[in-house]
Chain A
Amino acid sequence: MPITIQMRQRFDSSFLADGDVAVRFCTQEVEPVLLRGDSVVFDFTGVDNMTDSFSNACFANLFKNHKDLVGNRIRFKACTPLIKDFVLSALSMSQNDNN
C-alpha cells in the first residue's frame, strides 16, 4: 500500500533545510514503511527550496540502503525542477557510496 507523505505539511515549511530533522524523519518514519513492504511517495507540493544537508541526510541514505526500490517503492511527486535536482544529486551521492 503506498504511503504518501506531504512534505510541505510534514515539515511545516516550503524550505527543507535541517539535516538532523531529515535523518530522524527518514529513520523513524520512512524506513518502517519500507520495512513492512509498503511504498512511499514523497509529495513536494508547496516545497520550493532545499539544502544539500537535508537531501543527502534524507535521500542519499535512503537510496543507498534501498537502491532496488528507487522508482518502484520509492517515488517522488510534484517536484519543481530544483527539488528534482536535489533528489537526483542525492541519488548520485548514494551511487558514489556504493561504487
Chain B
Amino acid sequence: MNEHTLLILPARVDAGNMEQLYKVLSVPDANSGPIYISFNEMVFYTPNAITALLAQLARWKDIENRKFIPIPVRYNPVVAYIKYMGFFEKLGIEVKGSVAKTGNERYMPISEIQKDTKVDKVANDLVEAAMHGHSSNDEIRRLLSYAVGELLKNVQQHSCGTGYIMAQYFSNGLFQIGIADNGIGIKQSYISSFSPRAKGKEEWTDAQWIDEAIKCQSSSKVHLTSSANGEGPVNRGVGLTMCRLLAKECLGHFQMVSYSGELAHEFKAMDSPVEPMAKTIKHPYHGVSLSIAFNPGALGQITFMDLRRQVLTELGMLGKVPPLTDNGTMFSS
C-alpha cells in the first residue's frame, strides 16, 4: 500500500521500555508512502532510544526512499536538544517551529558509523564530549573509549547497515552509550557469514542468537581468516563479551536487541550468579540496538588494566599458558 503513515513518538524511552518505541516504529513498515512524524510528544530519550530512532528513520529514508513530513514542533527542549546533536541534519530534514538552543547546554554529538569511519577518532571524540565537565579520570576515559571502540567495530564488521552512536553522562553517575544500526541483525550475520556455528541452527530464534553472540570467542566471523597469511581469524569475538562484563564490574547495565530478541541486565552489587537469558519480544527492532552503561563510581581507584584483568579472569582467559608475564626478552623500555 502507498498510504501515508502518522508516526507519533512515545514520550519517554529508556533502556527499560525500548519496546514501546519499537512498537511505534513498526507502524511505517505496514505502508510505503510518506511518513508524517510528530516529535512534539518527546519528553525524555536516553542515548540508545535516540540512536535506535535515528537508525530506523535512516533506513526508511536511504533504503526505502520514504519521504518524511515533520509536523511543526511546539517548543520542546528534547527536540531542540536532538536538533543540535545533529539528528535532523543526518536525515536531511528540517523541522519547523520553536527549536532554539536552550541556555548553555552542551550537545553530545551523534556519530554515524560507516565502513570507513575512523574508530579511534570517533571513540575519543565521543568520550571526550561525554566526560567534559564531569570527570577527568584517565582510567574512566580508557574504559569508555575501549567500549565505544569495540561496539563501533562490531557495527562495521557485522551489521551491513548504517549505525549511529552517542554517549552521555547522567546525573545518577552513569555513563551511557547508545548504539544502533539498521542492518541484518545478529542471526543473519551468522547465517550470511556461513558461520559453522549456524549449522543445524536454522530454527534458532533471535534471542538464542543473542545468547550465542555474547559468549566469548563466538563471533559470527571467528572462522574467517585474513587472506594474506591464511591463518588466524580476523575477529576473535572478544569485544562484545568484554564490554558486557566490564559493565557488570562497574554495576552498569547492558541491553541488546536484535530483531525479536532482547537481552537486558541491570547489574547489582549482590547480583544473582545466574545470568539472565535473552527473551523474545513482541515488537521486533529492524537491526541491532544496544545500550550499555558504566558506573565509574563503583570502581573506586581501580585502573582500567586491573578491571580488564578481572574480566579476563572471569572468562577464564587469565592464567592460561602463558601467564601475563613475558620471557624477559619481548619487552624493553
Closest to B149 in A: A17
Judge whether A53 is part of the interface by a CB distance below 8 angstroms: yes
Contact string, B302-333, partner A, CB cutoff 8 A, digits 1/0?
Answer: 01110011001000011011101111111111
Closest to A50 in B: B146
Asked if A76 and B226 sit within 8 Å, CB to CB, the answer is: no
Which residues from A are CB-within-8-Å of B118?
Answer: 18
Asked if B330 and A23 sit within 8 Å, CB to CB, the answer is: no
Which residues from A are CB-within-8-Å of B277?
Answer: none
What is the minimal beta-carbon distance from A18 to any residue of chain B, in angstroms? 4
Considering the chains assembled together, what is the distance between the CA atoms of A91 and B149 in angstroms?
A: 21
Considering the chains assembled together, what is the distance between the CA atoms of A38 and B120 in angstroms?
A: 30
Which residues from B are CB-within-8-Å of A27?
Answer: 226-229
Considering the chains assembled together, what is the distance between the CA atoms of A70 and B327 in angstroms?
A: 9
Q: Which range holds the interface residue count of chain B?
A: 35 or more
Interface size on A, residues (CB 8 A): 50
Q: Which of A49, A74, A91, A95 has the most CB of B within 10 A?
A: A49
Interface of chain A residues 27 through 62 with chain B (CB within 8 A) = 27-28, 31, 48-53, 56-57, 60-61
Which residues from A are CB-within-8-Å of B182?
Answer: none
The 4 closest A-B pairs by CB, nearest first: A61-B232, A27-B228, A17-B149, A71-B329
A-binding residues in B (CB < 8 A): 118-121, 123-124, 138, 142, 145-146, 149-150, 152-153, 156-157, 226-229, 231-236, 238-239, 242, 303-305, 308-309, 312, 317-318, 320-322, 324-333
